[in-house]
Amino acid sequence: MDLKAINNVYFIGIGGIGMSALARYFVANGKQVAGYDKTATDITKGLQELEVYIHFNDNIIEVDPKYLNKEDTLVVYTPAIPSSHSELSYFKTHNFKVLKRATVLGEITKQTTCLAVAGTHGKTTTTSILGHLLNECDVPVTAFLGGISENYNSNLIINGTEVTVVEADEFDRSFLTLSPDLACVTSMDADHLDIYGDASELVKSFKDFSECIKPNGKLFVRNGLPLEGITYGVEDDSAYCAQNVKIENGSYVFDVKTPSGLYKDFKFNLPGRHNLSNAIIALAMAVEFGCPNNQLAKGLASYKGVKRRFTYHIKTDNFVFIDDYAHHPEEIKAVYQAVTEMYPSKKVLAIFQPHLYSRTRDFIDGFADSLSKFDEIILLDIYPARELPIDGVTSEWLLNKIKNLNKKLVQKSELINEIKKSDAHVVLTIGAGDIGEEVKQIKEALSVAN
C-alpha cells in the first residue's frame, strides 16, 4: 500500500495511546486526520489542538464528508473497537481501505530501519528510552510510544524518517505485521489469555515474532527467556550487562559490559531493577545500531521516564505519592521491588484498580500474592475496558484472597477520604484503567494534607 498516495486518514478509537501516536505521525506528514472515540481525554484534547476533528458519538453522520471518499481515505481502527461499531461497519461494507493499527505501523516501518521492542512487560519504557537515546545521538528517527514521554510530553518522537522505533504488541498477535532489523524481547509472562487460550500459545507467538526479523537482523532477549538471541541482564553473565550497580541520590550508577568492552559510569534516574533492565536493552540496541558511548551516557542521564510508569506526583522527605500503570502480577511485584528499594523503612499504601475481568480471573492468585506484600491495600472495582462482566469475577473475590488483613474495597467516590485515613508515608496508585484520571484530585488532596 502506498501511504503517500492517501490524503485523508480516519481513526476509529483515535484516543488510544497507540492510535493517537499514529494520528500525530500522519498530521506531521501533512495528512488530513480526523476520528472517533468514546470519551474525551487529555489525549484527544491534545490532538484537537493539532486541528484534528474528533467526535464522540458513534454515528456516520458526524463524519466530515471528505473522509467518505473511499478513493482518498484510509480508515484505521484498533482491535479494542467491537465489530458491532456502526462507523466501522459502514466503512467495511462500503469497501473503504480499512486496516488495523498494527498493519499500518507495519507499512510505515517497512521502508525504514526498524527497531522493535516486544515483551509482555517493559515495552513502553524500553521503547521510550531507545527513542530518546537515538534522538539524543542525532539519528533521523521516528519513535512510536505506548505512553506519554516525560521528555517530549508526547507519545511520538520525530527527528526524521529513516529509522523507526516501535512497540511490538503481542495483543492479538499484532507484532507479526512487523519486519524489524533489530528487535528485543523483554519478557514472556502469561497474559492476554482471552486471546491465546494458554501460555504455550503466547510463547509460540514470540517465537513466530523472532522469525519476522530481517535475514541480517539481530534479536536481543532477556537472559533466561526460551529464545535464541543476544542476551542482556543486570549483574549476571549476559552479553550486555549492568555491573557495579550502586544507588546514589535515588539514581542508579553502573557500568555496562558489552561484547566489545566495558562502558563506565552510566547514570539512570528511574527506580526499580526492572527499569534498569529496560535501560540495558535500550543501550544494547543503540550500541548495535552504532551510537557512540559518550552520547549514550549523556542521553540516558537525561531520560525522565514515561507518564504513569512510577511517576512521582509528590516527593518530599516526609511523604511520597507515585502513580504506575502496572496491571499484571509481575508488574506489581516490580513496583513493590522498586518502592521498597527506594524507601526501605517507609509504610506503603497500594491502591489497585484491576483491569479486565478475564485478566483478573486468569491471574487471581498472582494478584492476591503480589498485593499482599504491601503494608496496606485499597481495591477499586474492576475496570471492564472492552469486556462484559464475568459471573463471580469481582474485586471482592480478589479482596478475600489477599492474605494481608490491612485491606479494603472502596468506591471511587470515597477513595480520597480513605487515603486520608492512612498513616502511610508512601501512597501508590496502580492500574491500567481510569485510575489515572483520579491522580490529579488525589495529588491536590494529599498536597494539602501533607
Residue 114 near residue 161, CB atoms below 8 Å: no
Task: Output the pLDDT for position 120.
Answer: 86
Q: Determine what percent of the chain is predicted with pLDDT higher than 70.
A: 97
Residue 50 near residue 21, CB atoms below 8 Å: no
Is the pLDDT at 63 greater than 70? The verdict is yes
Is the pLDDT at 172 greater than 80? The verdict is no
**Of the options 3.30.530.20, 3.40.50.720, 3.40.190.10, 3.90.190.20, the CATH number for the domain spanning 311-449:** 3.90.190.20
Task: Output the pLDDT for position 4.
Answer: 82
Is the pLDDT at 196 greater than 60? The verdict is no
Is the pLDDT at 386 greater than 80? The verdict is no
Q: For 358-384, what is the mean pLDDT?
A: 96
How would you list the strands of the sheet with 320-324, edge to edge?
A: 311-315, 320-324, 426-430, 348-352, 376-379, 407-409
Task: Output the pLDDT for position 48.
Answer: 97
What digits encode the pLDDT tens for the residues 284-342? 999 999 999 999 999 999 999 998 888 999 988 889 999 999 999 999 999 999 899 88
Do the strands 261-268 and 251-258 form a parallel or antiparallel pair, or are they unpaired?
antiparallel
Confidence of residue 121 (pLDDT cuts 50, 70, 90): confident
Confidence of residue 92 (pLDDT cuts 50, 70, 90): very high
Nearest to 220 by CA among 164, 145, 281: 281
Is the pLDDT at 192 greater than 60? The verdict is no
CA torsion angle 287 291 292 297 (round to 10): -70
Task: Output the pLDDT for position 197.
Answer: 58
Give CA separation, 157 vs 8, 139, 167, 189, in Å. Answer: 22, 11, 13, 29
Residue 13 near residue 80, CB atoms below 8 Å: yes
Do the strands 251-258 and 348-352 form a parallel or antiparallel pair, or are they unpaired?
unpaired
Q: Determine what percent of the chain is predicted with pLDDT higher than 90.
A: 76
Task: Output the pLDDT for position 177.
Answer: 85
Residue 92 host element (H or E): helix 86-93
Domain 112-301: which CATH class? alpha beta
Q: For 136-157, what is the mean pLDDT?
A: 95
CB atoms within 10 A of CB 408: 12
CB atoms within 10 A of CB 16: 23
**Of the options 3.40.50.720, 3.30.70.20, 1.10.3720.10, 3.30.70.980, the CATH number for the domain spanning 3-101:** 3.40.50.720
Q: For 422-444, what is the mean pLDDT?
A: 94
- How do the domains of the chain map onto residue ranges? 3-101, 112-301, 311-449
For residues 432 and 355, give the distance between their C-alpha atoms in angstroms, rounded to a whole number: 6
Q: Do the domains at 3-101 and 112-301 have one common CATH topology?
A: no
What digits encode the pLDDT tens for the residues 337-365? 989 988 988 999 999 999 999 999 999 99
Confidence of residue 27 (pLDDT cuts 50, 70, 90): very high
Residues with Cβ within 8 Å of residue 204, at least 6 apart in sequence:
none
Task: Output the pLDDT for position 449.
Answer: 65
Task: Output the pLDDT for position 199.
Answer: 62
On the 0-12 / 13-18 / 19+ scale of CB atoms within 10 A, 80 is middle
Give CA separation, 419 vs 62, 90, 133, 376, 408, in Å. Answer: 42, 47, 38, 10, 11
Give the mean pLDDT of the chain: 92
